[in-house]
Structure 1
């Protein structure tokens, strides 16, 4: 069978097969899903933490320095996400995706975002400045949204990954591409369902409301605050 016939058969199979869907109680692993039209539906809060202006970093600095910044950012973000009960399911170059489920998923995700901001400003940048005489200032953006998502497996045998279909996955990624002047961006769904402990600091609201023109003026919130790490 030639490549064209093989691709035609695979595409036909995907479009014509009936989906087998079930509600999930845990964040699925690759091994929890079959390669066909098999999916898990999950109420989830999704976080994307993205290193800002990484193209400028690799274009203007030595590759080893760029690699160290990728590694320190992703290492801190990953450990923070896991410490808050989040699950790591995807890395994309300079970006990491965390998934949270359960009754406190929005609060945990937001606290993760605030802690990532602390790590960048209070742990990574000071250590970088102590090690190097550099003008580089690390910036990042964390985007968070919450909806029901459909999780399926995509790719081919021995070369596949989970795909996350739903507004939360798409919008969290897009929020992480907004201005790094505000390191944490969250959706209205997250803001309306998170605990006051991550909403107020000394009785002052940590979040500024905006309308997201690119998404039909959806209500979103941004913050420059951080959450200290012990």
Structure 2
């Protein structure tokens, strides 16, 4: 079969075949989802995206070794923090990481991960960077976006080279929230905010940890932003 014929057969089959959906209790691995029109549903899953800000300028102006060190230190902190909060890392994509939180207190754990990452960037990565690169004025900036919706995992690609694609609003909104600037590194949707416990909304001193905003580019939906960090012990 020629490449053109193969493409036509698979594309037609994808469009005409009925979907088989099963409900998942854990975040699936690619091997656990069939290559056909099969999907795993995660009800009310929380998607967490963390992204370095300004990485394109960094690689254009800094030595590659320096850029690699920033990537490695940022993604290492993000991954360790997410796992410490029982999140499931689903993808690394250049300078960003995607994770999914399910189960009890999933919104709390995702939001706390974002705040811990903010603290780690300010209190671990930056001090060490300044200790080594004493003349550098570079500042690590990042963004985290978090949303919650039903989420479906489908397997995409070809045999021997495939991965999961995540279909649902949360995957798209969480990623887009990271594009809103690093002046407030953490942004969440109202649906996530509404499920946070009081300890993640107000500090022990009684100060609000989030600011309510309107996301004008996304039909004026309500989101919340925060510049708070969460101390890592």
Task: Calculate the TM-score normalised by the size of structure 1.
Answer: 0.99
Quote the RMSD (CA, aligned, Å).
0.7
Map of 1:125 onto structure 2: 126
In the TM superposition, structure 1's runs of 4+ consecutive aligned residues that sit over 3 Å from their partners are none
Cα distance in 2 between the residues matched to 1:68 and 1:23: 40
Map of 2:194 onto structure 1: 192
**Alignment pair present for 1:2 and 2:2:** yes
Give the alignment of 1:59-208 within 5 angstroms.
59-132=60-133, 133-201=135-203, 202-208=205-211
Cα distance in 1 between the residues matched to 2:122 and 2:110: 19
Shift of 1:196: 1.2
Cα distance in 2 between the residues matched to 1:197 and 1:47: 20
Determine helix, strand or coil for the equivalent of 2:36: coil
Shift of 1:228: 0.3
Which ranges of structure 2 fall in alignment gaps of 5 or more residues? none
Cα distance in 2 between the residues matched to 1:98 and 1:200: 25
Cα shift readout 1:81-106 (whole Å, capped 9, x = no counterpart): 00001000101100000100012100
Cα distance in 2 between the residues matched to 1:115 and 1:149: 25
Cα distance in 1 between the residues matched to 2:104 and 2:179: 27
Cα shift readout 1:35-76 (whole Å, capped 9, x = no counterpart): 001111102000000000100110010000000000000000
Map of 2:20 onto structure 1: 20
Shift of 1:119: 0.7
Cα distance in 2 between the residues matched to 1:7 and 1:30: 22
Cα distance in 2 between the residues matched to 1:185 and 1:57: 23
Which ranges of structure 1 fall in alignment gaps of 5 or more residues? none
Match of 1:218 among 205, 209, 221: 221
Map of 2:231 onto structure 1: 228
Map of 1:40 onto structure 2: 40
Cα distance in 2 between the residues matched to 1:173 and 1:134: 30
Shift of 1:23: 1.0
Cα distance in 1 between the residues matched to 2:115 and 2:166: 24
Task: Calculate the TM-score normalised by the size of structure 2.
Answer: 0.97
Cα distance in 2 between the residues matched to 1:223 and 1:178: 12
